[in-house]
Amino acid sequence: MAVLVAAVVLLGGLVLVNLLLTGAVIRRLRKTTEESRAGRLPGSPGLGVGAEVPAFSALTVTDTKVTRDDFAGERTLVGFFSTDCPHCLPKAPTFVATARDAASDGVRVLAVVVEGERRPAELLAALTDEVSVVVEGEGGAMADAFEVRAFPSFFLVGPDGTVAGSSLKPELPAGAPTPA
C-alpha cells in the first residue's frame, strides 16, 4: 500500500511540474505572437520589415546632417557597428564590399558606429572612405530610431522610408528587392 501511495504522490508531482512548464510555454508563445504582430520577430536586429523608420537627426564624420527624410526616394543600406562588439570589425570589409555593389545599383549606403568603451579609429579605418559614417554614443539617435538590439545589424530602407529587409549579416538583407 505504501508503494501505491508513493507512486500516486510522485505522479501528482510530475503532473504539477508539467502544468507549470506548460503555463510558461503558453506565456512565451503569447509574447512571441504579440512581437510578431508588431513586426518585431524574435532574433531580428531591430525594426521589423514593413516598419516605418521614426524621425531622427545625426551628423556624419564629415559634418553632413542625416535625417529620416534623406531616405525618401532612394533605397538605403544602413549598417550598425559597435566599438565594443568583437564581431563588428571582421564584418566591416564585407559590408564595404556590399556597399560598393549596392552603390553601383543606386542604393545609398550609411554606416553607424556606436562608440562604447573603445575608440572607433580601427573600425572607421575598416569602413574606408566609400561609406558615409555616423559616430554616436550608446543610446544615439539612429540606433534608437532603428531599435538596434544586436551588433552588427543591417537594414535596407525602402524609398518610402520603411524597412524593406533586416539582417545580422553584412550582405544585402534577405527579402530586399534587387534592382532591375
Confidence at residue 79, expressed as pLDDT on a 0 to 100 scale:
93
User: Three-state secondary structure along the chain?
Assistant: CHHHHHHHHHHHHHHHHHHHHHHHHHHHHHHHHHHHHCCCCCCCCCCCCCCECCCCEEEECCCCEEEHHHHCCCCEEEEEEECCCCCHHHHHHHHHHHHHHHHHCCCEEEEEEEECCCCCHHHHHHHCCCCEEEEEECCCHHHHHCCCCCCCEEEEECCCCEEEEEECCCCCCCCCCCCC
Q: Which residue has the cell 544602413?
A: 78
Q: How far apart are the C-alpha atoms of 160 and 38, rounded to whole Å? A: 19
The answer to whether residues 59 and 66 touch, using CB atoms and an 8 Å cutoff, is yes
Edge-to-edge strand list for the sheet holding 108-115: 132-137, 108-115, 76-82, 153-157, 163-167
Work out whether strand 57-59 and strand 65-67 pair parallel, antiparallel, or are unpaired.
Answer: antiparallel
The Cβ-side half-sphere exposure at 53, using a 13 Å CA radius, reads 29
The answer to whether residues 147 and 52 touch, using CB atoms and an 8 Å cutoff, is no
**pLDDT, one tens digit for every residue, the chain (180 residues):** 888 888 899 999 998 888 888 888 888 888 766 665 554 444 567 888 889 999 999 999 999 999 999 888 899 999 999 999 898 999 999 999 988 888 888 899 999 999 988 878 888 888 877 789 999 988 899 999 999 988 999 999 999 999 988 888 877 654 444 433
Residue-wise pLDDT for 39-74, tens only, equals 444 456 788 888 999 999 999 999 999 999 988 889
Confidence at residue 77, expressed as pLDDT on a 0 to 100 scale:
93
Phi, psi of 88 (to 5 degrees): -70, -50
